[in-house]
Amino acid sequence: MDPIRLSLAALAAMTALAGGAPAQSLPEDLYRAELLPGWQTSHGTRMAALRLSLAQGWKTYWRAPGEAGIPPVFDWSGSENLASVSYHWPAPEVFEVSGYRIFGFHDELILPIEFTARDPGKPIQAKAEVALGICEEICVPVEFDVSGELSGGKPDERIGRALAAGPRDAREAGLTAIRCAVEPIRDGLRLTATLTMPSLGKTEIAVIEAGAGDIWVSPADTHREGDRLV
């Protein structure tokens, strides 16, 4: 079932309190955003990154934020000489928040972003409007702009470390087979995915990403049946 992607993360014990509020401007010392210009890859693309620095104890969300999180949204339409953008998310931490499970990062997020130019011979003038959530005792949505010229430069160790911290793919995780079944239930559909793969550790948590659209996915209940993760 190609539209459905599954990602696995190891459990890390963290706490916070989730809530909601209109997008707002917070004191500048709570967060700082910048675009790291990066370098040109061997494929001719630009590997840059969004760096989000947070005040101590503050957190932000992964691409699939979990039950109580706020998914990040990026709008690059204000850029010049930009054909496409792809994101290379590091593997997230797992937070238990007042009985909810959310996925994200604390203190700092370096998100590698790969840019493809319309005209490879010219620099990219990158500009984005970003909306995401940050939280400490409460969680609030914030909006900000980042921009910069992407040209020249040499590999940035910070971006390299973030790329190396990405999730393992199916081959690296030892996945040898997957079977999915869908059945109707009272308030929607139930997806059961059975993955044949070795254990990833004491605690295994499955994240089901539904892709674009107004689809809500409840937390996955996960258990082992020998060499199969269900």
User: Residues 110-165: pLDDT tens digits?
Assistant: 999 999 999 998 999 999 999 999 988 778 899 999 999 998 788 999 999 999 99
**Domain span including residue 9:** 5-164
Are residues 23 and 127 located together in one domain of the fold? Answer: yes
Tell me whether residue 69 is exposed, middle or buried, using C-beta atoms within 10 angstroms of its C-beta: 0 to 12, 13 to 18, 19 or more: buried
pLDDT band at 28 (very low <50, low <70, confident <90, very high): low
For the ranges 14-28, 111-125, 168-182, the lowest mean pLDDT is seen at 14-28
Looking at the predicted structure, is the pLDDT value of residue 9 above 50?
no
Please identify, among 142, 164, 186, the residue that sits at the C-terminal boundary of a domain.
164
Tens digits of residue pLDDT in 181-211? 999 999 999 999 999 999 988 889 998 887 7
Mean pLDDT of the chain, nearest integer: 85
Task: Look at residue 10 and tell me whether its pLDDT is greater than 70.
Answer: no
109 and 200, same domain (yes or no): no
9 neighbors 91 (Cβ within 8 angstroms): yes
- Say yes or no to pLDDT of 14 above 90: no
Residues 58 and 141 occupy one common structural domain: yes
What's the number of domains the chain is made of? 2
Instruction: Report which of residues 114 and 24 the model is more confident about.
Output: 114
What's the per-residue H, E or C state across 108-149?
A: EEEEEEEEEECCCCCCEEEEEEEEEEEECCCEEEEEEEEEEE
